Amino acid sequence: MISKKSLIIVITGVSRGLGRALSEKFAALGHTVAGCGRDEGRLRDLGKQLGPAHIVQAVDVLDWPVVKGWADDVLEKYGAPDLLINNAGVINKNNRLWEVPAEEFSNVIDVGLKGTNQMLRAFLPSMLNARRGIIINFSSGVGRVGYPQIAPYCAAKWGIEGLTKALAQELPTGMAAIPLSPGPVNTDMLQSTFGKKSAANYRSPTEWAEQAAPYILNLKASDNGMSLTTP
């Protein structure tokens, strides 16, 4: 657990869903959020809601020059983040694996894995120099056990597990990298997989963030490499 009262928290995928809900909750708790996503309209709304103390910007996590430029701006203004949360991801339309279009398969893997790596490349060196910070890469229960019709998404999330556990062994003492599953939440992704009616049986992102944000803030260096799930 990081002892600073006010943390610098970088989050990807804040346009909607879990990323937006976490951004709102972290800001409400007095922390500073640097968030990015791809939906410019939603990002403008979030930026107005959070206020000028926070940075919310349109960034494609696959565009390295844009990622690097945004990260440099964040680092110049705030310094190394205390928390780096890689939440950005996309899911394929329900389909049997051999019928998923190649481009769609690649996009799921690229955003989920390559996008995460881009953010690590951009922010991790500053965290290493400071010799502090916790990296949270959002995994998924379906990535750990598999689920029909969304094999590409399962593969991306299983990849996050392996990537994060390997990274955890490379970090110095006092830091942590954690593959974290949010559990089932009524997001656009869950609706895509289960249908809106079934997804409605689960918590909204805002309800989820009420418990998830404090849980995340209490993660500590001894959690390094552990596959965890939010309450």
CB atoms within 10 A of CB 212: 23
**What is the number of other CB atoms lying within 10 angstroms of the CB of residue 14?**
32
φ, ψ of residue 83 to 5 degrees: the values are -130, 130
CA angle at 22 for the pair 148 and 34, rounded to the nearest 5° = 115
Residue 184 amino acid letter: P
The answer to whether 153 is a known catalytic residue is yes
Euclidean distance between CA atoms 167 and 23, whole angstroms: 25
Half-sphere exposure of 187 (CA within 13 A, CB side): 23
Catalytic residue among 78, 147, 153, 215: 153
Q: Which of 61, 145, 148, 154 is nearest to 110 (CA)?
A: 61
Helices (H) and strands (E) in the chain, counts: 10, 7
Which of the residues are catalytic?
A: 153
